[in-house]
Amino acid sequence: MLKIAVLISGGGSNLKALLDAAAEPDFPAQIVCVGSDTDADGLEHARAAGIPAFVVRPRDFGSREDWGAALADEIRAHDAGLVVSAGLMRILPAGFVREFSPRLINTHPALLPAFPGAHAVRDALAAGAARTGVTVHVIDEGVDTGPVLRQAAVDVRPGETEAELHERIKQLERPLLVQTVRDIALGTLRLPGVG
Ligand code: GRF
């Protein structure tokens, strides 16, 4: 069974969706650890599910690469075969990406290549986009530039706030992420460069 590490920074609703799916007897993957760069609220979901949760803080390290190396040590210790960034609000350093990519995926709240970066929902609204959505993609050494695996679109409603639009995106994002992980685990979705 595929072993998964999930990385978060926030409330962890995507993590919760993965945990709920993985609790089903027929789910083809197992979440073996959850990591964060901060004391994220979402770590409680992992603890409640009895899954090891760890925090590796960038400020405790002399460089981003050293932080990434410590994060990689944790993930390696749990023998994860897929790393899922589900709301990790930091750019993973190059050494980390080189070790895990393409078995390293991210979910991003926009239709990449449109609106990369940390403020994707705000940027889509500011640009007056009529449609936006969510992208699950492989992480490469760029920022939200790796190969796209799956996308789902949502129409922007007139007058909608950033929070309202983001919540509607997340309603699509959670099942899309779960389905993508399921398909990777089953081998029906091949990661680029993986046999
Ligand atoms: C998601 O929309 C993710 O794409 C973005 O931050 C949000 C995290 O939500 N980067 P949650 O913590 O999973 O609820």
Tell me which of 14, 132, 136 to substitute to probe ligand 1's pocket, judged by most ligand atoms within 8 Å of the beta carbon. 14
Q: Please count the residues of the chain.
A: 195
- Closest residue by Cα to atom 6, ligand 1, is 87
Q: Which atom of ligand 1 sits closest to the CA of residue 89?
A: 10
- Tell me, what's the pLDDT at 193? 85
Question: How far is the CA of 56 from the CAs of 37, 71, 112, 121, 122, in angstroms?
Answer: 5, 6, 28, 27, 28
- Residue 126 structure tokens: 């500011």
Q: Catalytic annotation on 108?
A: yes
Q: Please, which residues have CB within 8 angstroms of residue 161's CB and are 6 or more apart in sequence?
A: none
Which residues of the chain are under the pLDDT cut of 50?
none
Q: Please, are residues 5 and 168 in contact by the beta-carbon 8 Å criterion? A: no
C-alpha of residue 107 to centroid of ligand 1, in Å = 8
Give dist(CA 108, CA 180) in Å, integer. 13
- Residue 162 structure tokens: 């950033």
Q: Please, which residues have CB within 8 angstroms of residue 25's CB and are 6 or more apart in sequence?
A: none
- Amino acid of residue 65: E
Residue 116: CB within 6 Å of ligand 1?
A: no
**DSSP string of 24-67?**
STT-SEEEEEEEESS--TTHHHHHHTT--EEE--GGGSSSHHHH
Find how far residue 115's CA is from the centre of its chain: 16
Residue 107: CB within 6 Å of ligand 1?
A: yes
C-alpha of residue 169 to centroid of ligand 1, in Å = 9
- Tell me, what's the pLDDT at 2? 96
- Tell me, what's the pLDDT at 191? 96
